């Protein structure tokens, strides 16, 4: 075998390649959507600049706070030293996530709900490895994370959708503890209500800034749904969709379900 390991199994490799080529032929190639790629690329570029600006702002804000707190002779007597212990990893929800029910309802006789789990911030690699193990035990894994150390200083969230007897994760991310959304920022996705179905994209799940008061979902073919922010800990009422604070999350979250026969067109923060 050579350094790249390509010699001893040439026949074998080509057999595998043939099988894969046969399977790959099943895809419909179509015409390259050049214009759509360029439009998407421009949107990404604009978004990247916006994110960079927001991150710079957040860092600037936290640096200012640290600088003030660290000034010698300042505030000596104004803030009494706190004798309590720092919160443990358990108290910070590092090994067991905080769960929040985002929405629930009934559609066509089937009960559905959307739930989010937020795992707290590990402070070091030891905590991060234990968190990764705990995640594996509960059946989830952050997709972008290749080693435990990448979890340090970050929260991880998983959003699950359940319809009837089907239960599946639909969104996941690991983000810095300082991540934030502001103003009319919104990140959302639309998908069919029933897992694995080809039905219309009726279920919209997203996150907005803590300050966002109203989100408007517009549906293909006309019509829209407006949802409003409720305080933390508010009751989750069946078939009532709202913007809701989530334990452990730096953003507020919402779920919006299109009426039967409608499908997602757009979503934005409108107040």
Describe the strand order of the beta sheet including 186-191 as a list of residue ranges.
Answer: 186-191, 203-208, 252-257, 243-245
Contact 143, 156 (CB under 8 A): no
Please identify which residue in 58, 134, 140, 236 interacts with other proteins, judged by CB under 8 A: 140
By the rule CB under 8 A, 26 interacts with other proteins = yes
By the rule CB under 8 A, 22 interacts with other proteins = yes
Strand partners, 247: none
- Between CA 153 and CA 132 the distance in angstroms is 14
Judged by DSSP in three states, 117 sits in strand
Question: What is the footprint of other proteins within residues 161-190 (CB under 8 A)?
Answer: 163-170, 172
Task: Specify the residue, 11 or 66, whose C-beta has the smaller distance to other proteins.
Answer: 11
| Cβ 72 to other proteins shortest distance, Å | 45
Q: What does residue 46 show for φ and ψ, rounded to 5 degrees? A: -65, -40
Going by C-alpha positions, the residue among 61, 93, 209, 221 that lies closest to residue 157 is 93
Question: What is the footprint of other proteins within residues 207-236 (CB under 8 A)?
Answer: none
Please identify which residue in 7, 10, 30, 85 interacts with other proteins, judged by CB under 8 A: 30
Please identify which residue in 50, 65, 124, 141 interacts with other proteins, judged by CB under 8 A: 141
| Cβ 11 to other proteins shortest distance, Å | 8
By the rule CB under 8 A, 10 interacts with other proteins = no
Q: What does residue 4 show for φ and ψ, rounded to 5 degrees? A: -95, 5
- Between CA 159 and CA 64 the distance in angstroms is 34
Binding mask 85-124 for other proteins (x = CB under 8 A): ----------------------------------------
| Cβ 104 to other proteins shortest distance, Å | 17
CB atoms within 10 A of CB 220: 14
| Cβ 150 to other proteins shortest distance, Å | 12
Query: How far is the first Cα of the chain from the last one, in angstroms, to the nearest whole number?
Result: 65
* Plot region of 147 (φ>0 → left; ψ -120 to 50 → alpha; else → beta): beta
Question: What is the footprint of other proteins within residues 36-65 (CB under 8 A)?
Answer: 36-38, 40-45, 48
By the rule CB under 8 A, 23 interacts with other proteins = yes
Site size for other proteins, by CB under 8 A? Answer: 56
Going by C-alpha positions, the residue among 93, 144, 91, 153 that lies closest to residue 124 is 153
| Cβ 38 to other proteins shortest distance, Å | 6
Task: Specify the residue, 44 or 271, whose C-beta has the smaller distance to other proteins.
Answer: 44
| Cβ 123 to other proteins shortest distance, Å | 25
- Please name the helix (run of DSSP H) or strand (run of DSSP E) that holds residue 203, with its range, or none: strand 203-208
Decide: residue 198, CB within 10 A, 0-12 exposed, 13-18 middle, 19+ buried.
exposed
Residues that bind other proteins (CB under 8 A): 3-6, 9, 11-13, 15-17, 19-34, 36-38, 40-45, 48, 138-141, 143-144, 146, 160, 163-170, 172, 195-196
């Amino acid at each position: 075998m050579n350094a790249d390991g390509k010699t001893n199994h040439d026949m074998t490799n080509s057999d595998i390649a043939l099988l894969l080529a046969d399977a790959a032929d099943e895809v419909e190639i179509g015409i390259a959507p050049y214009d759509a790629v360029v439009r998407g690329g421009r949107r990404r570029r604009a978004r990247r600049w916006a994110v960079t600006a927001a991150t710079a702002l957040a860092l600037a804000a936290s640096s200012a706070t640290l600088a003030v707190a660290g000034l010698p002779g300042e505030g000596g007597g104004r803030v009494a030293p706190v004798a309590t212990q720092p919160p443990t990893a358990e108290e910070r929800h590092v090994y067991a996530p905080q769960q929040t029910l985002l929405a629930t309802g009934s559609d066509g006789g089937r009960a559905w709900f959307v739930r989010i789990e937020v795992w707290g911030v590990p402070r070091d690699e030891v905590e991060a490895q234990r968190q990764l193990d705990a995640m594996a035990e509960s059946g989830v894994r952050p997709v972008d994370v290749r080693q435990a150390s990448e979890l340090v200083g970050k929260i991880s969230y998983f959003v699950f959708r359940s319809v009837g007897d089907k239960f599946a994760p639909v969104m996941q991310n690991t983000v810095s503890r300082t991540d934030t959304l502001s103003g009319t920022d919104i990140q959302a996705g639309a998908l069919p209500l029933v897992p694995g179905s080809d039905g219309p994209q009726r279920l919209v799940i997203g996150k907005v800034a803590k300050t966002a008061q109203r989100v408007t979902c517009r549906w293909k073919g006309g019509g829209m749904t407006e949802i409003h922010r409720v305080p933390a800990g508010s009751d989750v009422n069946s078939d009532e969709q709202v913007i809701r604070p989530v334990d452990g999350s730096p953003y507020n979250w919402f779920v919006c379900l299109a009426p039967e026969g409608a499908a997602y067109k757009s979503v934005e923060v409108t107040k």
